[in-house]
Amino acid sequence: MIRDRYPKADILAQRGHWDDATREVVLDRVQNVPRFRFFLSHEQATLVALCDRVIPQAHRRADRRVPLAPWIDQSCAQDKLEGFRFDNMPSLADAWRQGLAGLDQTARALHGADFCELDGGRQDGVLRAVRDGSPPGEVWQTLPAKRWWTYIALRQIAGVYYAHPYAWDEIGFGGPAYPRGYFALNHGAPEPWEPREAGGER
Amino acid sequence: MRLHVHLSSDWILDTEMREYRPSEAVDFCIVGTGAGGGVLAQRLARYGFSVVALEAGQWHDSERDMVSDEAGSARLYWNDLRITGGADPLELGANNSGKGVGGSTVHYAAFCPRFHPSDFRVKTLDGVAADWPIAYEEIEPYYAQMEREYPVSGPARYPWGKPHGYPYAPLEAGTAGQMLIKGCERLGIPVVAGGPVAIPAGRYGKRPHCIMRGFCLLGCKVGAKSSIHVSHIPDAIAHGAEIRTGSMAFEVPTDEAGRASGVRYFRTLANGRVLEQFQRAKAVIVAGYAIETPRLLLNSKSGPFPDGLGNSSGMVGKHLMAQAGPVVWGRFAEPIRQYKAPPACACSEAFYETDPRNDFVRGYALQTVAPLPIAMAHLLIDETGCFGEELIEKMQDYNHYAAIGVLGEILPDPRNRVTIHPSAKDQFGLPVPYVQFNLFENDKRMMAAGIARARAVLSAAGATETHFVPRYAHLVGTCRMGFTPQDSVVDRWCRSWDVPNLLICDGSVLVTQGSSNPALTISALAARTADWLRRAVPAGELTTRPRVETPVPAAEPASAVPTNGTAPTPTEARR
Amino acid sequence: MSLLALRSRNHDSAAQDLLDELREDAELARREIREGRFQRSMALVTAFSAAVSGFEAYSQHQRGAFNDRWMWTPVWLAPPTVAAAGAALKSERVARRVLPAVALVSLADGVLGFVYHLRGIRRLPGGFRAGQYNIVMGPPVFAPLLLCSVGTMGVFAGLLRRERPEERTAVGRARGALASLKPGRREEPPVELPFARRVAHGRFQQAMALTAAGFAVIAGGEAYFEHLRGSFNQRVMWTPILVTPPMAAAAIGAAASGRVARRVLPFAAAAAFLDGLLGFCLHLRGIKRMPGHFGNLRFNMTMGPPLFAPLLFTSVGLMGFIAALLRRREEGS
């Protein structure tokens, strides 16, 4: 049961204190959610279902949910520079395509249905099988499951989520800090404008 | 060409930069503008040489290009394709590789300790690795220069290695850093607060003092952090150096006499067009950090150099070292809010040196780190592969975590190496580096001990639970310095044994890495090499290949130490 | 005589009249101070000091996030102190009864703050063992004692006599002499302590000089640690440290010798006074040069050089000037 630990948090309300370049980047992320261009519709469904299991958002108000799948789609469509690739992994776009197909293969092997058709609990079971390293499915014979799970699925989906102001609100992060920096540096204290933790700071 | 770049919130570099025609042979063509290349450009320009520094990336304007946002900072890093493998593959890109004027010093945390005297004699002292062909005393005056020029803040007396003081007062630590200090205090471990970090406490010239925003790793918008593009590049430009951006070096050709003739590179113009160009030079200095430097040399094959330029030893690309950098974090009942204040604020080198009671040689340092949200999420993910409610709830504890980075001395091994990948190509069609890395027995034992120690420190500070994940930091060693052409790539002055007018002067030349962040050492070596070039070039020394010298005594002759009057100091920032 | 010559003569005499007036005012002020008649001026200085001190306490306590309730006391004490000192300009009763009481509370709060700041330093990792680092990074240990200067001035103000602006003209002086013969009009303060009587008649040069010396040392110490925190990044940051020993020495000398008080102290006081104003201007410039400049004012005033802190040197200089003009305890009236 996910509690709201920073109920008063609203980082976007502080955007007047940010510099122009930062504000532009963050607002663009919040306001301009890209359309799907890379994944086919079934792949999209699988990806959305995966994102919902990795970062559950059902407990949040509908207007406070962070779109995740479209950004993954965009990074594949743009052939984003990755910085490095493990020698036993394919390119980013291929890794996603293959991984999503692998989820379906594992889901069918374990429960006889595609991944997006399963209920949440069974979906989690599929994901745990991937995490453990030897899930059933042909794709996983060549695509290293553990590595895919950590570096492709989890890191990238969490990377999209925790780049968003609503996620920052959830964890009580102070957000962008320029030109207004921080002056309350002791006792982990919040700045006067920062959200306080529900139930007291200590 | 007119430059107009924000270097700090209070400083716009608005100046005419001299441009050289590629067809005119400059005295030095430097590849890379980081801790090594940037200092070289500044020194050599000041000494009156004509200098072109090629930089694959662009300027990072502190107002326009830097943002207080992790996901929006990709342009700071070397994100071109590289392949990584081995038993313990290194993560590259944002982890350790910068791109742009200033190189990795744009995104570094700015810890700037010195090496210890023992680091230069690990083979003699501990029977492992190799000795440097120079001693601590030879680099010592250049350490002092760099600490003044960056500048570096620290305590009045830094007790480890060869004790010394710092020109700037210690920087204030945030709550997260105080946890390292508190834990060490309670366990009786000597610890230093407030440094050594290249963030001056107090205004420095046109660089305002730090506002404790904690986004150091995404570039300092304030200009407080000492990145090379702020500390040295402006002075280089003021003395006639050209910083040519958008210039991806891909080959160093040689002439019939076996001398480097210049650098071939791809120039990306403002309109997106890519041109192939060739900058002629009387001497070439490669300073692209420990992956791009060997890549460039290995891709520069020719008749006399079938295995790559300067690679008669076969050592180019070998002995890649990254430091063990496992992150150990603790959860505290009270809030920490680790994202405030510079992550680099406290350090203990109490376990740096070899301790005969350990089951390993050499050691590690304890440093403060402060992961931002995405980095923290990655830590949690890497630890258990957790997802769903578990991940969300662990991240909701974000304000209650304090993290320590253990910086450990992994020993050089030729099996850790950079080669050229047989098939993968980058966006320029160039073969990409293949980085292979493995931990060996000593490394694993050292890491285990460091992690255990860090966990004990956090627990002593009051953490109710502690966690860790393996990480690695920095990249050095792939064109090591040495005594002979058979066992090294460059001599004691960073000159290639094989090519008289080729130098390599960046992290690649480090023989061992200690448990010290390499930036200051790289810059100090660059200043020292520049000093040598100042005498050597007019004396015609770059016309002949280096001779193997008998090992020199530890003390360097006084004439090599620059006198105060001539010591070049960047003055632009101080005005 | 030509019109021009006439006008120039008038012009000259107008300038001459102005100079004469200023000279008379200065002479009057000197006499008033010498005789202990500067209660309202002292109250005015107290009001201003209390206001800026309250502001600084608020501003800097934000850095401690007000994590202890007692950190609010110097902030809440500022408005009553300002109000009392302001009212003291109008009402002698307030000046004698209310202002000293409020000032004493403020004084006590400064001492309390000093103790709390020491405790705050002790609580940092390493405590006093890491003294050099913690005294610079921790709560500024001398700052609360400097706030005591507000309370001190308020107490003095309560003991002084009020100015008599009517003394300026001969007629005014005559009127005043007549009025003092009227029965029932008391000029002396109600407090019967010998010290109070001496203060009321301006015979407290030694006490004032020692007060100035004490606050000079505390201000110098505070400036040293705070400027050390900024690594003395500009040479001018040494001036308050250099100004302090001469000021303290001159003030202590002034307590011992009237000659030093009259001949030496004014110059040392002038240096402190001016250095404080210089510091104020430089701190303002420092705040402006921070990111966001004046558009980021709340943050920059808190994290940047504390704007009003240098005025403590001006206040010390002022105390020195006053001390130089006062009479000594053993002098006749």
What is the C-alpha separation between B395 and B376, in angstroms, rounded?
A: 8
Contacts of B138 (CB under 8 A, 6+ apart): B528, B556, B560
In a domain, A4, yes or no: no
- Residue to mutate among B331, B381, B384, B419, with most A CBs inside 10 A, is B381
Q: What are phi and psi of B70, to 5 degrees?
A: -60, -50
Residue environment code for B281-299, b if the CB has 16+ CB neighbours within 10 A, otherwise e: bbbbbbbbbbbbbbbbbbb
Check C125 against B10: CB less than 8 A apart.
no
Q: Which of B177, B170, B140 is nearest to B155 (CA)?
A: B170
Residue B85 has phi, psi (to 5 degrees) of -155, -160
Report which of A185, A98, A178, A195 is spatially closest to residue A144, judged by C-alpha positions: A98
Q: State whether residue C286 sits within 8 Å of chain B by CB.
A: yes
Q: Sign (positive/negative) of CA torsion A88, A90, A91, A95?
A: negative
Nearest to B444 by CA among B567, B360, B523: B360
ipTM reported for the complex, 2 dp: 0.98
**pLDDT at position B565, please?**
35
A32 close to B (CB below 8 A): no
Binned at pLDDT 50, 70 and 90, residue C9 comes out as low
Can you read off the two tokens belonging to residue B502?
Answer: 């080729």
Q: With contact defined as beta carbons under 8 Å apart, do A123 and A54 qualify?
A: no
Residue C219 has a CB neighbour count (10 Å cut-off) of: 30
Per-residue pLDDT of chain B (575 residues; tens, 9 = 90+): 999 999 999 899 999 999 999 999 999 999 999 999 999 999 999 999 999 999 999 999 999 999 999 999 999 999 999 999 999 999 999 889 999 999 999 999 999 999 999 999 999 999 999 999 999 999 999 999 999 999 999 998 999 999 999 989 899 999 999 999 999 999 999 999 988 999 988 899 999 999 999 999 999 999 999 999 999 999 999 999 999 999 999 999 999 999 999 999 999 999 999 999 999 999 999 999 999 999 999 999 998 999 999 999 999 999 999 999 999 999 999 999 999 999 999 999 999 999 999 999 999 999 999 999 999 999 999 999 999 999 999 999 999 999 999 999 999 999 999 999 999 999 999 999 999 999 999 999 999 999 999 999 999 999 999 999 999 999 999 999 999 999 999 999 999 999 999 999 999 999 999 999 999 999 999 999 999 999 999 999 999 999 987 665 544 443 333 333 333 344 333 33
Collapsing DSSP states into helix, strand and coil, what is residue B53?
Answer: strand
pLDDT per position as a tens digit, A112-130: 999 999 999 999 999 999 9
Give the number of other CB atoms < 10 A from CB of residue A173. 24
Distance CA B124, CA C13 (A): 93
The residue-averaged pLDDT of A59-72 equals: 94
For residue B201, give the nearest of C124, C125, C231 by CB distance.
C231
DSSP-based three-state secondary structure for B372: coil
pLDDT band (50, 70, 90) for residue C29 = confident
Structure tokens at B455: 């966990």
Question: From its phi and psi, is residue C55 left (phi > 0), alpha (psi between -120 and 50) or beta?
Answer: alpha
Q: Which of A154, A163, A171 sits opposite B396 (nearest CB)?
A: A171
Q: Which two tokens stand for residue C308?
A: 């009003």
Set of chain A residues whose Cβ sits within 8 Å of the Cβ of C290: 179
Is there a contact between B212 and B172 (Cβ–Cβ < 8 Å)?
yes
pLDDT in the model for residue C192: 73
CB pairs under 8 A between A and C: 38
Q: Is B242 on the interface with A (CB under 8 A)?
A: no
Q: What is the mean predicted confidence (pLDDT) over C210-238?
A: 95
Residue A115 domain-assigned? yes
Q: Is C62 on the interface with A (CB under 8 A)?
A: yes
Q: What is the pLDDT, as a whole number, of residue B550?
A: 67
* Cβ contact B391–A158 (<8 Å): yes
Backbone φ and ψ of B250, nearest 5°: -130, -10
Q: Does B391 touch chain A (CB under 8 A)?
A: yes
Please report whether residue A126 resides in a domain.
yes
Q: Where are the domains of chain C?
A: 28-200, 203-333
Mark yes or no for CB contact B91/A84 under 8 Å: yes
Nearest to A194 by CA among A177, B343, B331: A177
Residue C190 pLDDT greater than 90, yes or no: no
Pairing between strand B401-408 and B327-331?
Answer: antiparallel
CB contact, 8 Å: C289 with chain A?
no
Strands (E), B443-533: 465-469, 472-476, 502-504
Angle value at C-alpha A110, between A142 and A140, nearest 5 degrees: 5
DSSP string, B207-237: BPPP-----GGG--SSS-S--HHHHTHHHHH
Residue A93, class by beta-carbon neighbours within 10 Å (0-12 exposed, 13-18 middle, 19+ buried)? middle
Q: How many CB atoms lie within 10 A of CB B123?
A: 14
How close C313 gets to chain B, by Cα (Å)?
22
Inter-chain touch C299–B182, beta carbons under 8 Å: no
C-facing residues of B in 160-199 (CB < 8 A) are: 167-170, 172-173, 178, 181-182, 185, 193-194
Query: Could you report the per-residue pLDDT of A170-188, keeping only the tens digit for each?
Result: 999 999 999 999 999 998 9
Q: Does the distance separating the beta carbons of C63 and A183 come in below 8 Å?
A: yes
Number of domains in chain A: 1
Taking contacts as CB-CB distances below 8 angstroms, the residues of chain A near C58 are: none
Tell me if B308 sits within 8 A of B297, measured CB to CB. yes
Q: How many angstroms separate the CA atoms of C223 and B371, rounded?
A: 35
In whole angstroms, give the CA distance from residue B257 to residue B260. 9
- Cis bond leading into C306, ω under 30°? no
Whether residue C130 and residue B156 make contact (CB cut-off 8 A), yes or no, is: no
In angstroms, what CA-CA distances link C157 with C54, C176, C255? Answer: 19, 22, 20
- Interchain CB contact of C172 with B (< 8 Å): no
Q: Answer yes or no: do C291 and A186 touch at CB < 8 A.
A: no
The CA-CA-CA angle for residues C237, C243, C245, to 5°, reads: 125
pLDDT at C330 (0 to 100): 77
CA torsion sign, B58 to B504 to B523 to B51? Answer: negative
Substitution target in A17, A186, A201 with the highest count of C β-carbons within 10 Å is: A186
- Check whether the bond before B485 is cis (ω within 30° of 0): no
Give me the numbers of helices (H) and strands (E) for chain A, helices first please.
9, 1
Whether the CB of C257 is below 8 Å from some CB of chain A: the reply is no
Cα separation, B224 vs B168, whole angstroms: 13
pTM (predicted TM-score): 0.91
With helix as H, strand as E and coil as C, how does chain C read?
CCHHHHHHHHHHHHHHHHHHHHHHHHHHHHHHHHCCCCHHHHHHHHHHHHHHHHHHHHHHHHHHCCCCHHHHHHHHHHHHHHHHHHHHHHCHHHHHHHHHHHHHHHHHHHHHHHHHHHHHHHHCCCCCCCHHHHHHHCCCCCHHHHHHHHHHHHHHHHHCCCCCHHHHCHHHHHHHHHHHHCCCCCCCCCCCCHHHHHHHCCCCHHHHHHHHHHHHHHHHHHHHHHHHHCCCCCHHHHHHHHHHHHHHHHHHHHHHCHHHHHHCHHHHHHHHHHHHHHHHHHHHHHHHCCCCHHHHHHHHHHHCCCCCCCHHHHHHHHHHHHHHHCCCCCCCC
Burial code of B541-570, b = ≥16 C-beta within 10 A, e = fewer?
bbeebbeeeeeeeeebeeeebbeeeebbeb
Question: How far apart are the C-alpha atoms of B92 and B76, rounded to whole Å?
Answer: 13
Q: Can you give the pLDDT at residue A201?
A: 66
Residue A159 lies in a domain: yes
Cα C173 from Cα C31, distance rounded (Å):
13
* Among candidates A87, A149, A185 on the partner chain, residue whose Cβ is nearest the Cβ of B85: A87
**C 67-86 → A contacts, CB under 8 A:** 67
Of A128, A175, A38, the closest CA to residue B337 belongs to A175
**Radius of gyration of chain A from its Cα atoms, rounded to whole angstroms:** 19
Which residue out of A14, A84, A193 would a mutagenesis test of the B interface target, given it has the greatest number of B Cβ atoms within 10 Å? A84
| Among the listed residues C37, C21, C202, A87, the one whose alpha carbon sits nearest the alpha carbon of residue B434 | A87
Tokens coding B519:
């930036």
Choose among C248, C243, C182, C242: nearest CA to C212: C248
The 8 Å CB, 24+ separation contacts for B117-121 are: B117/B161, B117/B162, B118/B161, B118/B353, B118/B354, B119/B512, B119/B513, B119/B514, B119/B516, B120/B511, B120/B512
- Provide the H-helix boundaries in B150-288: 175-187, 228-231, 233-238
Residue B172 to residue C233, Cβ atoms within 8 A: no
Neighbours of chain B (3+ CB pairs under 8 A): A, C
- Superfamily classification of domain B2-558: FAD/NAD(P)-binding domain (3.50.50.60)
Do residues B203 and B330 make contact, with C-beta atoms less than 8 angstroms apart? no
pLDDT at C76 over 60: yes
Contacts of B506 (CB under 8 A, 6+ apart): B32, B34, B35, B36, B37, B286, B287, B288, B289, B290, B293, B522, B526
Closest CA to B435 of A4, C93, A83: A83
